[in-house]
Homo-oligomer: A and B are copies of this chain.
Amino acid sequence: MPRADAIRRIGFLGTGIMGAPMARNLARAGFSVTAWNRDRSKAERLAADGVVIASTPASAAADQDAVVVMLSSGPVCDEVMFGAGGAVAAMRSGSLLIVMSSIPVETAKAQAQLANRSGISYLDAPVSGGEVGATAATLSIMVGGSVEHVQSAAPIFAAMGKPVHIGPVGTGELTKLVNQLTVASTIVAVAEALLLARQGGADIARVREALMAGFAGSRILDLHGQRMIEGTFAPGGPAKYQVKDTAAARSTATELGLDLPMLNLADALFGDLVAHGGGELDHSAIILELSRRNGLSPEEYAPLTN
């Protein structure tokens, strides 16, 4: 394991909407970054910031102190990291593998076992904060792994946002799921609140203002409540991804022997929104699904301002 001050060279796999600004921030913080992306053109935009572009995952991962992974899903991570010509076989023993994608808890644990067999340390470190947070280096980073490895990775995380070490491998991904289930349920709660207020004749912009000052105040009420008031449902976070998250959280809950009724309800409601054509809308559009269920016509609910 490299010490914190010994990590200079980083391989970066996956430079999409989130990965590109994260890799750029690492380069700007002084790390020597070599990036690979399946669509090479997306990686090449980073060359202006001194990022070296690699042709294969293996060449990006070879001879690095650490490899950061920001690919789109668990199966894609598995393929790029452990498939034929994959990155992990090219990594040095004693180096550090940091998976920042949102993937299932069990997938993270299995990846850690495979990496450890090659003498490679593993952290799961998914993020919250979106493209804005990735660009501004203000991501909330939820980290699972050993204390020693988290300390080694501290300068890497500091270049991208604020890490919180949650517990052993897998608990970073668990926390991301827990974050998503909290967001999903809170968005439904805010949507029901504003719908009730509006149907009762209140000015919902003022309702939001009054609620923000008390116990009902939340980031969701602030940001997504404003979207509901304005009727602006361009994503943001598309509803179809919200369903993926609630399904993953249900699956993890089931594995742990837990039945969580509000999670189940949020999952069903977002599923209905997608089934009725709202999959590409921002998840705050759940207020449209609640309106539809209650027989309100689109003219009655969009926009929701009085």
Taking a contact as CB atoms closer than 8 A, the residue among B171, B195, B249, B266 that contacts A202 in the complex is B171
How many interface residues does A have (CB within 8 Å)?
A: 70
**Chain B min CB distance to A25 (Å):** 17
Closest residue on chain B to residue A180 by CB atoms? B216
Once bound together, how far apart are the Cα atoms of A164 and B168, in whole Å?
Answer: 46
**A197 at interface, CB cutoff 8 A:** yes
Stretch touching chain B among A12-20, A50-58, A71-79, A203-211: A203-211
A259 engages B294 (CB within 8 Å): yes
A168-207 to B contact mask, C-beta < 8 Å, 1/0: 1011001101110111011011101111110111110011
A203 engages B294 (CB within 8 Å): no
**Chain B min CB distance to A102 (Å):** 13
A179 engages B261 (CB within 8 Å): no
Q: Which residues of B contact A179 (CB under 8 A)?
A: 193, 210-211, 214-216
B220 engages A185 (CB within 8 Å): no
Specify which of A178, A186, A290 lies most central, judged by the most chain B CB atoms within 10 Å of its CB: A178
**A277 at interface, CB cutoff 8 A:** no
Once bound together, how far apart are the Cα atoms of A74 and B171, in whole Å?
Answer: 48
Chain A residues within CB distance 8 Å of chain B: 105, 128-129, 140, 142, 162, 164-168, 170-171, 174-175, 177-179, 181-183, 185-186, 188-190, 192-197, 199-203, 206-207, 209-211, 213-221, 223, 249, 252-253, 256-263, 265-266, 269, 290, 293-295
**4 closest cross-chain pairs (CB), A and B:** A218-B218, A185-B189, A128-B214, A164-B210
